[in-house]
Amino acid sequence: MAKRGKKYQKAAGLVEDRTYRLEEAIELVKKAAFAGFDESIEMAFLLGVDPRQADQLVRGTVVLPHGTGKTKRVLTFATGEKMQEAEKAGSDWVGGADLVEKIKNGWLEFDAVVATPDMMREVGKLGRILGPKGLMPNPKIGTVTFEVGQAIGEIKAGRVEYRVDKTSIIHGLIGKKSFETSKLLENAGVLSSAILRARPSAAKGKYLRSVTIGSTMGPPVRLETTALEAMA
């Protein structure tokens, strides 16, 4: 393991070897964030699921009440009136086959993709490009829809997609160091509740194994899971 720098070691010294209540942990994470920029704050949920089993995948979206502190660049695949609806809702790029070709040629300057169902035949050609990056539109998370205005509005307002990875962990952004503790607390509560409610019926035993919270550069802080479970 690479040796940590002095600033990290000093920050890590603030964290005791125990679990913390959520509000206490957020304040500690903000205090331990030492980078010279407004660090993002993220939660990591270790779940008691087997992501190799299709009936144990945990995936969904949630709109954080105070956003994430990041403005997402949205690309929309649509035609006709839906193009106008997407533009009015604030989509950064709107198009069809022209955008498909642009992406095939290596352009990926966007953070989220929305598509109307009738465009998925064209968009499907980009599966090998968008899929590995988590950008492929999917009806299960509301990004394949004729309600493009609503989908774009939610993404711009702070909609977060969560998905368990192959190590059974979900990473979720809840805001920035500059956010007030109360806003981070509310965002964290909404994300935690959504993940807890998404428990697959096939999951056995303890679902929420452990949860940590930390900033981009700072040390992780372990959370009390019983309090998070009570939120849901």
Helix crossing, 81-89 with 148-157: angle to 10°? 20
Sign of CA dihedral 222, 223, 229, 232: negative
Beta strands 208-215 and 40-47 are: antiparallel
- In this prediction the pTM is 0.81
Q: Is the CB of residue 218 less than 8 Å from the CB of residue 38?
A: no
Give yes or no on whether 16-67+159-231 and 74-157 have one common fold. Answer: no
How far apart CA 123 and CA 137 sit, in angstroms, is 8
DSSP-derived letter for residue 71 is P
Dmax of the chain from CA atoms?
58
3-state secondary structure (DSSP) of residue 131: helix
Please give the pLDDT value at position 228: 87
How far apart CA 138 and CA 107 sit, in angstroms, is 20
Mean pLDDT over all residues of the chain? 94
How far apart CA 78 and CA 100 sit, in angstroms, is 12
Beta strands 74-77 and 112-115 are: parallel
- Check pLDDT > 60 for residue 1: no
Residues 44-89: tens digit of each pLDDT: 999 999 999 999 999 998 999 999 998 899 999 999 999 999 999 9
| Fold of the CATH domain 74-157 | Rossmann fold (3.40.50)
Q: Which of 63-85 are b and which e, b meaning 16 or more Cβ less than 10 Å from the residue's Cβ?
A: ebebbbbeebebbbbbeeebbeb
- Check pLDDT > 70 for residue 2: no
Nearest CA-CA partner of 228 in 56, 46, 17:
46
> Which segments within the chain are labelled E, that is strand?
40-47, 59-63, 74-77, 93-95, 112-115, 159-163, 169-176, 208-215, 221-222
| 20-46 mean pLDDT | 96
- Check pLDDT > 80 for residue 225: yes
Domain ranges of the chain: 16-67+159-231, 74-157
Please give the pLDDT value at position 5: 87
Beta-carbon contacts of residue 5 (< 8 Å; ≥ 6 apart): none
Please give the pLDDT value at position 232: 64
Class (C level, CATH) for 16-67+159-231? alpha beta
- Check pLDDT > 90 for residue 96: yes
